[in-house]
Amino acid sequence: MPSAPHRILIAKPGLDGHDRGAKVVARALRDAGYEVIYSGLRQTPAQIAAAAVQEDVAAVGLSILSGAHNVLLPKVVELLAAQGGGDILVFAGGIVPERDIETLAAAGVDRVFLPGTTTQAIVEYLEQRLPREAPQPA
């Protein structure tokens, strides 16, 4: 029996209203065989963490363009850990100055993808970071 696909939540934290990039990534991940849940625009860190835990995802992809990445992304990681989702992989993409990537990594964001990253690079990253799941019981 084949293994179940990893579930990934794609979320837009904060007041940013531009979601084209998030939708492109969501589609690419679906095409690569992942089960993708898109939470929609203007989500709070609490909403994102709750959805990730409730949906039992393996990873959360955060798309951010608003400049609030140093506040919102670490808060998502913190709330995931507080709700029992500390093992959920968190990655991000969007407009993030390179000088902030180290700070985000220290806060638990595993990887930040900058503008110009191909969707194939994101798929390859997830293939490397997420272990193969065991087959589902019959």
Per residue of the chain (138 residues), what is the pLDDT tens digit? 457 899 999 999 998 888 999 999 999 999 999 999 999 999 999 999 999 999 999 999 999 999 999 999 999 999 999 999 999 999 999 999 999 999 999 999 999 999 999 999 999 999 999 977 544 545
Distance CA 28, CA 32 (A): 6
Q: Which residue has the tokens 């990873």?
A: 59
Phi, psi (rounded to 5 degrees) for 60: -125, 125
Q: What CA–CA distance (Å, rounded) separates 56 from 133?
A: 13
Residue 83: predicted pLDDT: 97
* Kind plus residue range of the DSSP H or E element containing 34: none
What integer pLDDT is reported at residue 2 of this predicted model? 55
Q: Tokens 């997420």 label which residue? A: 130
Please state the φ and ψ torsions of residue 84, each to the nearest 5 degrees. Answer: 85, 10
**According to the model, what pLDDT value does residue 131 have?**
78
Q: What is the tens place of the pLDDT at every residue in 20-33?
A: 999 999 999 999 99
In this prediction, residue 18 carries a pLDDT of 87
Q: Whole-model pTM above 0.75? A: yes
The answer to whether 13 touches 73, Cβ cutoff 8 Å, is yes
Residue 134 confidence (pLDDT): 42
Residue 2 lies in a domain: no
**Can you tell me the distance from the alpha carbon of 4 to that of 34, in angstroms, rounded to the nearest whole number?**
9
Q: Work out the burial of residue 35: count CB atoms within 10 Å of its CB; fewer than 13 is exposed, 13-18 middle, 19 or more buried.
A: middle
- Residues of the domain holding 99: 7-129
CATH number of the domain to which 79 belongs: 3.40.50.280
Domains in the chain, number: 1
Tokens of 39: 């939470």
